[in-house]
Structure 1
Amino acid sequence: MDSNIGYYYETNKKLMSLIGQWPYQKPNEKRPRLILLIIIICNALVFQITHFFVCEDAQCFYETLAPCMLAIVALIKLFTIYFNNHKIKDLTDRLFKNWDMFTSKEELDIMKKYAETGKWYSLAYVYYVLGGIVIFASTSLLPQMLDVVSPLNTSRPVMLIWPAYYFVDEEKYFYYIYCHMLFCLLYGINSIVAHDCMLFVYLEHVCSLFVVIGFRFEHMLYKNNNVKNIRINHPNDMYCKNIMFIVQAHREALQFVMLLESTFSLSFGLQMLMVIVGMSITLVQISIQLQNNLTILIRYLLLIGGQLFHLFCYSFEGQKLINYSSETGDKIYNGSWYEMPVSAQKLLIMVMRKSLEASVFTAGKIYIFSLESFTTVLQTSMSYFTVLTSMSE
């Protein structure tokens, strides 16, 4: 791997290596990390499930269900990468090879721009998640802090990071339980972060391919793709050779999207179901805590904010993929195709026909990630929230 190119993907390499799923990682390094992560997530999930058996009302059930679903989503993302590791390797190989397809400075600058964007999206996502975890986990220490600052006749009841049953006295062993939960949360969340950040990089990369292809189409008749240069006359075979290369590059971009879809689509179908149910349950808890407990209300607001941010990131990237893939035909039309020989114009029809149908990224081939679909999910979650609220009354 070229060190200059590897710079843009260093963050993703570290995240994937941490969970033992970097495609080029040695097997003896991958297996222990993967097993450790599965044990940690399942360990947290067991104590969450046991709490269901001590719940006495619907509110307790809802409080336990939301964090339990988060652990299940973490396992789904982890196993998605694990069982599709050969596809992840294929996607990563294609990503690095695509850099060799384009040689002009303008085209490489476009590739670098989107690779840099993917890197900063990944870093922002990591910092957002870590910041949310720190704030969320800190709220569990508020009762102990208030006992020191403003003591009462009796100690305030303990507040765990999430509802769980540890078969011991929670007040006596609070700090042990707290440290266990915090460790599980900080390490277990890596499966979600690594999965999501790698997907952001893949989507940004395929968007850059569509942009570069459109750029070359628009400047087909200019030497070195520089719009300030004087127009030159190429022989017919040079036109055809150049267009054939672009057709091949466009086909590579479409194949990249198809491979991306086959790798993540099924698992995202399950995740979207959980996201809708999870947001509905969280909204129910927010409505209950509006007049009851401000600390718990803040925690649920952080949780709903995290769910919305998670879904919005995918919807935003999916919308970019739709926009860039569908603009290819427009860029062909905006170029000087009428000055090309007829034999070269015929080759453009292949790409124009493909670009009539925008490339999309879906969840279970049912839900299309886009900003329009994002609002639909919010409306659906509100509908379920209304139903759940009426049932809990």
Structure 2
Amino acid sequence: MKDGYLRPLYVNHLVRLFENHKKKSFEMPDSKINTQDQCNLDIFETSDYKTYKDGMKLIGLWPFENSTKRTLKRAFVLISMITTLIFMQVRFVEELNHNIDVVLQSAGSIILSIGCIAKFITTFRAEDNIKLLFSRIAKQWASITDKTECKILADNIKVCHPLCTFYKVIAFFALVTYACLPSFGPVIMNILSPLNETRRKRLPAPAEYFVDEEKYFYVLFSHGMICYMLVCALYVIIDCMYSCIVHHTVGLVGIVTYRLQNIIDLKVTSNQEYQANNSEIRRRLRRAISLHKESLEFAQKIETTYNLCFIIVMSVNLLTMIFTAACAIRTLYYDKVESFRWFILYGSIIFHLFFNSNPGQNLYDKSNEIINTLYFTEWYTLGISRSNKRTMLIMMIRCLRPCQLTAGGLLVLNMINFGAVIFFKSKGGSDCRKLIFNCMIAAITNEVANQYSFIERKAPRKSFKDLRLCTCLYQAVKLAFPNANDDDIKDGISAWQDTANTRLKREASGKGPKRAPFQPIVIDETLNSGEESDP
């Protein structure tokens, strides 16, 4: 992993000195990761991994399977997905100027299918990296012999099992509800609330098969269900394996923490014991540093492997979230069954974002514990040599910036950003600028806003880009208004910043709106009162 990615720049020169010294004295050949393909894969037959391995084999993504079988499985998946996508696109074009409801239903399924195909293709294109990750996992398990450390690693992997199981249940429920409501909902309603005419059954996704839909309804329904099951299986299997790999990294970091906690437990009563004690401390510290470096390199390899996959999937999911929310609200007043179907899909997408953010948050939290563990090891006591103290101090500096995973380097995958994006989008607004004003008013007081300017337009003030909030605000605006460009967002933020002094004076004089700090207000009232004018 690149060092600059995980630590502040101002300590790079210290760490370089430390690493040059480490190459001479801290080499541990037995702990190095062998990247050759010949490795013992028995660990993937255990209960912790077998379910995920079988899922990867099912869709042709297990890199150690026979190449012919992998190719046939991938061809089946792609042909099934692409043919269905073509049928849906034909129906979409046919109904474009005739039936807006069918167009919206087709568009939602098309976007979801494109995202799934992109996820599948980007994953098997990264087959070499995935193979390397699994090889490293097997060799890391083989290199850890201490029972306590093995238990720490296994326990951290088990952390992801309940959420993965819940993810499968949610995906299955969403699949059955979204796919079966159009087909069997009318049949049930004909029994519960009959009309003068029989309600017509519909296929799970509007598609043009060029045959009589009434005559071959169940055949076409079976084809649609198979394709939806493939979409569901691809999302669940790839995401669950990603979560398992990341939690393996969390376990490695947990072992580093455990080793650091047990660095100093020897008593010094003589000069000879002092030398032996520091030699033992140095050996334990060397093992912890070596594993810490491995875990950081492993996390970087995970990000490299899933980089393209996540940036595409996140973009498609955010677009689908906006689309499904709009469709759910549109159909709420005249077709509640269809509206419920859209809300189910909307909730599933939000849970998918949550699921992908959770492993990154766990890795961030666990890596953040290392510096606290180092501090409480009593490294400052008299029984420790100066060189060992210096090594611990440099390791503390290296851990100031914890390990984190991103989607293409643009969005950090953690719960903070997940919650911030969802929160800001919920503020609402009829256009880009009103959404920005509502988000700003909800999150920043006028006192803070008066001390900052956007991109340092006013020299005495600090740059607004320094605030972490800015990234979340950009994501929320892009989520709510995909057509908004950077200039629109900049203008909205600048306009809000420029009126901060005016709002501050009005609040001080009692003429402004009566509200507590950080309490949201409706932006239309602010605009009507003339607060958008220059101060």
Are residues 1:325 and 2:373 paired? no
CA–CA distance in 2 between the matches of 1:33 and 1:174? 27
Are residues 1:198 and 2:241 paired? yes
| Structure-2 residue corresponding to 1:221 | 264
Once the two structures are TM-superposed, the CA of residue 170 in structure 1 deviates from its matched residue by 3.0
Aligned partner of 2:129: which letter? K
CA–CA distance in 2 between the matches of 1:174 and 1:104? 60
Q: How far does the alpha carbon of each residue in 1:8-49 deviate from its partner, in whole angstroms, 9 at most, with x for none? A: 100110110001111211112211111101111112211221
Where does the alignment leave 5 or more consecutive residues of structure 1 unmatched?
224-231, 389-393
| Structure-1 residue corresponding to 2:419 | 375
TM-score by length of 1: 0.89
| Structure-2 residue corresponding to 1:144 | 187
Given the alignment, which residue of 1, 18, 21 partners 2:61? 21
| Structure-1 residue corresponding to 2:82 | 42
How many residues are paired up?
380
Given the alignment, which residue of 399, 403, 426 partners 1:355? 399
Given the alignment, which residue of 199, 202, 205 partners 1:162? 205
SS in 2 for 1:53: helix
Given the alignment, which residue of 237, 258, 278 partners 2:300? 258
| Structure-1 residue corresponding to 2:532 | none
CA–CA distance in 1 between the matches of 2:104 and 2:396? 50
Are residues 1:335 and 2:351 paired? no
CA–CA distance in 1 between the matches of 2:315 and 2:178? 24
| Structure-2 residue corresponding to 1:227 | none
**The 10-residue stretch of structure 1 (176-185 or 248-257) with the greater mean CA deviation from structure 2:** 176-185
The 1:168–1:151 alpha-carbon spacing in structure 2 relative to 1, beyond 3 Å, is farther
Once the two structures are TM-superposed, the CA of residue 150 in structure 1 deviates from its matched residue by 4.3
The 1:121–1:95 alpha-carbon spacing in structure 2 relative to 1, beyond 3 Å, is farther
CA–CA distance in 1 between the matches of 2:117 and 2:480? 29
**The 10-residue stretch of structure 1 (350-359 or 303-312) with the greater mean CA deviation from structure 2:** 350-359
| Structure-1 residue corresponding to 2:107 | 65
| Structure-1 residue corresponding to 2:353 | 311
CA–CA distance in 1 between the matches of 2:116 and 2:425? 23
| Structure-2 residue corresponding to 1:184 | 227
Given the alignment, which residue of 109, 112, 123 partners 2:165? 123
**The 10-residue stretch of structure 1 (321-330 or 54-63) with the greater mean CA deviation from structure 2:** 54-63
| Structure-2 residue corresponding to 1:391 | none
Once the two structures are TM-superposed, the CA of residue 132 in structure 1 deviates from its matched residue by 2.1
List 4+ stretches of structure 1 deviating above 4 A. Answer: 57-60, 380-388
Pairwise CA RMSD:
2.3
Q: Does the 8 A contact of 1:240 with 1:343 survive in 2?
A: no
Aligned partner of 1:358: which letter? P
| Structure-1 residue corresponding to 2:133 | 91
CA–CA distance in 1 between the matches of 2:276 and 2:104? 69
Q: Does the 8 A contact of 2:172 with 2:232 survive in 1?
A: no
| Structure-2 residue corresponding to 1:282 | 324
Q: Does the 8 A contact of 1:17 with 1:25 survive in 2?
A: yes
The 1:96–1:35 alpha-carbon spacing in structure 2 relative to 1, beyond 3 Å, is same
Once the two structures are TM-superposed, the CA of residue 218 in structure 1 deviates from its matched residue by 1.6
Aligned partner of 1:15: which letter? G
Q: Does the 8 A contact of 2:175 with 2:232 survive in 1?
A: no
Aligned partner of 1:363: which letter? A
Aligned partner of 1:104: which letter? D
Structure with the higher helix share, 1 or 2: 1
